[in-house]
C-alpha cells in the first residue's frame, strides 16, 4: 500500500475588524525629546501611565534627549519632538506629540482597534 498524505488542514482566515492585535513579549519604546520642556515631561508621564495600565511589566522606555544627542534623530528620521517610536514588531510606528490622547496612542501602538468616531475632527 503506497504511503498516503495527511489531509490538508484548513487555514483560518482572519475577518476584517475581528483580528486582535498581538502584543509582543516586551514592547521597546523610544521617546525623543528636546530637553525638559513641559511637553516632553507631559509626554513621558503620559507614556508611563499608559504603559502601566496596558503593558504592565512588558515594556522598556528609552528616552533620547536630542539636545544631548542630536545625531540620534537621523536614524529614526525624527522631525518633531516629542516623538514616540515603537521599535519592536513591525511596522515601526511613530506618534508625535505629548501623548495625551490615549485612544490615538493605543491605536497608534496597535493596542486597540480603530474607532473611526474619535478620528473625526469636530465641526
| Whole-angstrom distance, CA of residue 68 vs CA of residue 81 | 14
pLDDT tens, position by position, 95-120 = 999 999 999 999 888 887 555 554 55
Residue 68 in any domain: the answer is yes
Residue 57 in any domain: the answer is yes
Q: Residue 38: which of 46, 30, 28 has the closest Cα?
A: 46
| Domain with 104 in it | 27-119
Residue 17 in any domain: the answer is no
Q: Is the pTM of this model over 0.75?
A: no
Please count the structural domains in the chain: 1
- Helix/strand/coil for 65: strand
| Whole-angstrom distance, CA of residue 115 vs CA of residue 19 | 14
Residue 94 DSSP class: E
pLDDT tens, position by position, 23-81 = 557 889 999 999 999 999 999 999 999 999 999 989 999 999 999 999 999 988 999 99
Amino acid at each position: 500500500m503506497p504511503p498516503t498524505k495527511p489531509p490538508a488542514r484548513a487555514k483560518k482566515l482572519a475577518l476584517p475588524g475581528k483580528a486582535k492585535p498581538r502584543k509582543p513579549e516586551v514592547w521597546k519604546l523610544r521617546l525623543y525629546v528636546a530637553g525638559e520642556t513641559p511637553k516632553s515631561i507631559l509626554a513621558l508621564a503620559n507614556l508611563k501611565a499608559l504603559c502601566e495600565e496596558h503593558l504592565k511589566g512588558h515594556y522598556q522606555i528609552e528616552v533620547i534627549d536630542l539636545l544631548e544627542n542630536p545625531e540620534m534623530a537621523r536614524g529614526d528620521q525624527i522631525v518633531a519632538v516629542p516623538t514616540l517610536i515603537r521599535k519592536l514588531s513591525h511596522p515601526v510606528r511613530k506618534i508625535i506629540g505629548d501623548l495625551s490622547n490615549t485612544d490615538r496612542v493605543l491605536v497608534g501602538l496597535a493596542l486597540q482597534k480603530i474607532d473611526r468616531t474619535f478620528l473625526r475632527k469636530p465641526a
